Amino acid sequence: MLTARDLHHARGLLAGVSLTLAPGQVVGLAGPSGAGKTTLGRLLAGHLSPEHGTVRLDGAPLPAHGFCPVQLLPQTAELAVNPRWRVGRILEEAHTPGAAARRAFGIRDAWLRRYPHELSGGELQRVVILRSMAPGLRYLIADEISAMLDPLAQAGLWHRLLDHVADRGLGILAISHNAALLRRLGGAVWHLENARLRDATPVPASGRAAGLPLETA
Amino acid sequence: MLELSRLSIGFRRPAGLWRREVVPALRGVSLDVRAGEVLAVIGASGAGKSLLAQAVLGLLPANAVLAGAMRFQGAPLDPAMLRGRRIALVPQSIAWLDPLVRAGRQVEWAAGRAGLPAALRQPAATAALARFNLGAAASRRFPHQLSGGMARRAMLAIATLGQADLLVADEPTNGLDPENAARVLGHLRALADAGRGVLVISHDLSAVLPQADRVAILRDGALQETAPATAFRGRGEALASSYARALWQALPESGFHPAEASPC
């Protein structure tokens, strides 16, 4: 269980945000530009420390060293890799994905010897996603990971990711402006606005169960 | 207004020590932009969308080889003569603005390029910025002090200040949230409604559909089809090519189907 309790950050950008993400749960996070969605994602993944409040994984703080079980996938994969490393080395930064895992994410063997700038944005995004899939991974914070992809690449990426996540029982927080995409992910949708988080899950037409209810602050 | 017929673009590169080869990038693309319409060119990255814009504006790199014909208002297109006067570009990122010059001053430069005498440039720039809801405060800012949406509107002000008949917008919604993206596309729609031709290049089919009249689908440098925007509905029965149907059905608001054999 990934829990955040009463988060305050950046002088009122977030004021009393609490949430719970369970294993296997897929939740969308929406909200206007500048509402603090990315900041919340960075707090949850331990890239930032909250000015007030706590982020806990199964009741314990996130580890300060080594691989963090909560991984942040940023919007621009180019900025999340060392430009002087070849793709093969980038991929093995945290673990050694086998050939089967590379195939599952559509990563070709020929890419391993290339540098990041020699892949397209969508190709590099898949490398960054597989890199995060180390054995210790529990939760993924996916920050607009498909905004720069065409519709086919976007659908392909999410189907791959959701299959994998279901197999391993990972929790996902998917940050996006695209309301239709968040509905498609099938889980709850939270809305961050005016420093607070509220449940904005659309009423499911098919009767599909929404995620766990949001904790009230 | 703009007619491209069987336009092909390739890049010359060395093959071995002495020979040179031409790598094709765009193959036999024919399309036209009419006055008063928004034509969207949609494709994945690497499909050759931006090459189309660069060709129309005469901004192709030196090793490009061009074949086919481009005509503008009935005469052969000479980009160097028309660029910035009759044909204007709305560029993709604020990297196209001069980082050391305040936004208002850069709009005044555009007024100069449009042929206005020096005394009229500042009022024209102020009026152009005001059309896109940018006031005196925004005009005093440097590009890095503008938000993505404001910078995009400043570039729209620059592109529309002259009397350009054709506007080419390269990925005008990239990096914008849905409200700002809709606003920018709404501005382009209004310019088309006022009689100009607008060519929008984008990977974001769902963003451009509401404002486009026709949609041209590019894949691997070849035109798949040009369809009216209204053909993108239901399961895409009205679309002629399977790739256009697959693109439409992959949208979250349509079917969210990934391609069977995804080459992405």
Domain coordinates in residue numbering, chain B: 31-64+78-86+164-254, 97-163
What pTM was estimated for this model as a whole? 0.80
CA distance A174 to A76: 15
Alpha-carbon gap: A213 to the closest alpha carbon of chain B (Å) = 24
Q: Are A210 and A188 in contact (CB under 8 A)?
A: yes
Give the C-alpha distances (Å, rounded to integers) separating B148 from B10, B45, B92, B143, B245: 33, 21, 11, 9, 32
Helix, strand, coil share of chain A (percent; to 5) = 30, 25, 45
Who among A120, A121, A156 is closest to B262 (CB)?
A156
pLDDT in tens, A54-84: 999 999 999 988 899 999 998 888 889 999 9
The dihedral over CA atoms of A130, A133, A138, A142, expressed in degrees to the nearest 10, equals -20
Residues of A in contact with B244 (CB under 8 A): none
What is the band of B183 on the pLDDT scale with cuts at 50, 70, 90? confident
Residues of A in contact with B178 (CB under 8 A): 177-179
A vs B: CB pairs below 8 A = 74
Residues of B with CB under 8 A from a CB of A: 42-46, 147, 149, 174, 177-180, 203, 205-206, 246-248, 250-253, 256-259, 262, 264
Residues of A in contact with B218 (CB under 8 A): none
Strands B214-219 and B64-72: unpaired
Quick one: pLDDT at residue B261? 44
Quick one: pLDDT at residue A204? 57
ipTM of the complex: 0.76
Q: Are B69 and B6 in contact (CB under 8 A)?
A: yes
What is the band of A205 on the pLDDT scale with cuts at 50, 70, 90? low
Homologous superfamily of B31-64+78-86+164-254: P-loop containing nucleotide triphosphate hydrolases (3.40.50.300)
Nearest by Cα to B259 from B248, B47, B162: B248
pLDDT in tens, B30-71: 999 999 999 999 988 778 888 898 899 988 888 888 999 999
Sheet with strand A14-21: strands edge to edge: A14-21, A2-9, A52-57, A60-61
pLDDT in tens, B215-235: 999 998 899 999 999 999 988
Q: Is the pLDDT reported for residue B259 higher than 80?
A: no
Q: Is the pLDDT reported for residue A172 higher than 50?
A: yes
Q: Are A141 and A173 in contact (CB under 8 A)?
A: yes
CA distance B234 to A142: 30
Quick one: pLDDT at residue B59? 86
* Domains of chain A (ranges, CATH numbers): 2-82+136-204 (3.40.50.300)
Nearest-Cα residue of chain A relative to residue B206:
A151
CA distance B264 to B257: 14
Residues of B in contact with A123 (CB under 8 A): 264
Who among B46, B247, B252 is closest to A152 (CB)?
B247
